[in-house]
Structure formats: C-alpha cells, structure tokens
Amino acid sequence: MQENFEIKKLTSFKIGGQIARVYFPETEVDFVEVMAREPQAVVLGNISNVLISDDGYSGAVVLTSGMNNISINGTTVVADCGVKGQKLAQTVAKAGLGGLEFMIGFPGAVGGEVFMNASANGQAISDNFIKARCYCAERGVFELNKEDMKFGYRSSICQEKNIKVLSAEFELEEIGAEKVEARMASCLEFRRSHQPLLNLPNCGSIFKNPSGDSAGRLLDDCGVKNMVQGGVKVWENHANFIVNPNDGSSLDVLELMAKMQGAVEEKFGIKLEPEIIYLGDNNKREEELCKMLYQKTQK
C-alpha cells in the first residue's frame, strides 16, 4: 500500500492528483485481503475510462495491474482482471485463436472490459465469454456464467450489483495466426481512423450511444468539434472524444462535457449519459458539474 499516491502518470488521460491510499494486489488472495480491509475501495485496472480529479481522492483505490496472468488450454483462455486488452489479443493471436482481435486497440484491462462488456468492430467481450471469477463483499469469491452476467450494451450485472471481476474465461476459435493477425491489423486501422491513439491522452468514448442513435453523430450535428476548454478539446476526427494535448485539468474536462451534453439536450432533447467514470471528492465545482452530468455525484 502507498499513501498519497500521485496517479496522473498512470491514467490514459494524464490527469489526476493524489489518492489517499493505493493497493497493488498480485493474486486473488491479495485482492480479497485488501477488500476485507478496505470494503469501500474503488477498483481500477488500466485507468483508461476514468477521470480522476486533480484535487485527488480521499479514499482507497485498488489497482489490479499486477494481476496479469494468462493461461491457454486448447481453445480455452483464462485471463486475470489486470491483463491489458492489447496483451491478451496479441497472446491469443500467436496461438492462432480468433475472437478477441478487436481488443488490440483497447486501452483497458480485462476486468473493466468484462465489467462494461466492451465492444468494437462488431465484436463484444460477451461473444466468446464463458464465465468469470468475481468478488463482492456479500458473497466473497464466486463464479458467474454468461447468462448470469446479463450482458447488454456497455453493461453487465457487475455494474448493478457492485461486483468486481477477478478473471475471465473465453472459448475461442482456432483459425491460425496469419488470419488473426490480418483481423487485428484491420481493427487497428479502423481504430486509427475513428479513435485517437493513446499517444494523444484521452479517456475513450465520453458518452454512451443513446438507444437507436450515435452519440458521436448527435454531438457532431451540434458542432462540438470546435469546442476547447482550457488544455483539452473535442477531437477533430470524432465528436465523442475529448483529448488532452495541452496538460488540461479534470475541471476542464467536466466543463467541456457539460457543454457537449447541454448542446445535444438543447437541440435534440436527448440527455447523453457519460460513459467515463469520475473519481474525486475534494472539488466543489467538479461535484456540481457531476450532479448535472450524471444526475448524482460520482465517486
């Protein structure tokens, strides 16, 4: 455990202040012990879809990056929650296994990607998912199969019940390394043209797609691509991304999100729901903005 941990360099947004207590478990046993000690701790993987306040967070955070084992048995693959999506995609590709190539461009880790049923290029985590080992305070460690997970668009039962994913098992298809590599190259090319790469600090998609429509289309129709707030701006190639080219702040991001959300609500009567998570409890203005953006203060 480290106290007053500077988190900024570990976030994909390159934004964030001090976290009061940060834990780095490496095994399932470590994780359970930490959660018993810190039942209110926030669990994060690669900190890729999280905006952390520059004024920090006074609670505890568990970073699962040390839980990063991958095992392959035939066409069955088990990955710990802290395994980065890119690493998993590359590892199974070498084994000639198809089904996870869409993860090659993902900045997140397996735990978070299962938690939110991450998807891209017509594929989703749920497609090849078999089961996961999970944790919650009431049940301890337990397993959930695909039906139990109640996967939906950017959703799973884990979000409803505050369940943490410890590892996930997938059943893949043996199609040969060459074919998988070709699919991954196609996914990467699509990502380069539609989403900013991580050398331009960003947090992924800002808002979820509303039912039957695209958040990017709605935002683009509202002309948000010319919006700048402090050191951050809306990415010029896709209106549903905020990038941080000039050392912007967490407040810059929230102010810009509020403008984006407000523009769509005013023009279309649709209130976009943020996809990214906010973590912070020391800035009054940020809390006010979160009440508007999320309709409640996020922690």
- Rounded to an integer, what distance in angstroms lies between the CA atom of residue 72 and that of residue 78? 7
DSSP bridge partners of 123: 120
Contact 279, 42 (CB under 8 A): yes
- CA-based Rg of the chain, rounded to a whole angstrom? 19
Exactly one of 26, 265, 273, 275 is catalytic; which is it?
275
Exactly one of 126, 154, 186, 273 is catalytic; which is it?
154
H or E element at residue 266: helix 250-268
Does residue 58 carry a catalytic annotation?
no
Count the helices and strands in the chain (H runs, E runs): 9, 18
Does residue 205 carry a catalytic annotation?
yes
Exactly one of 53, 167, 205, 250 is catalytic; which is it?
205
Collapsed DSSP state (helix, strand, coil) of residue 275: coil
DSSP bridge partners of 61: 22, 42
Collapsed DSSP state (helix, strand, coil) of residue 130: strand
Closest CA to 232 of 200, 266, 208: 200
Does residue 275 carry a catalytic annotation?
yes
Closest CA to 115 of 136, 95, 92: 136
- Rounded to an integer, what distance in angstroms lies between the CA atom of residue 247 and that of residue 228? 13
- Rounded to an integer, what distance in angstroms lies between the CA atom of residue 136 and that of residue 110? 17
Tokens (6 digits) for 9: 């360099």
Residues known to be catalytic: 154, 205, 275
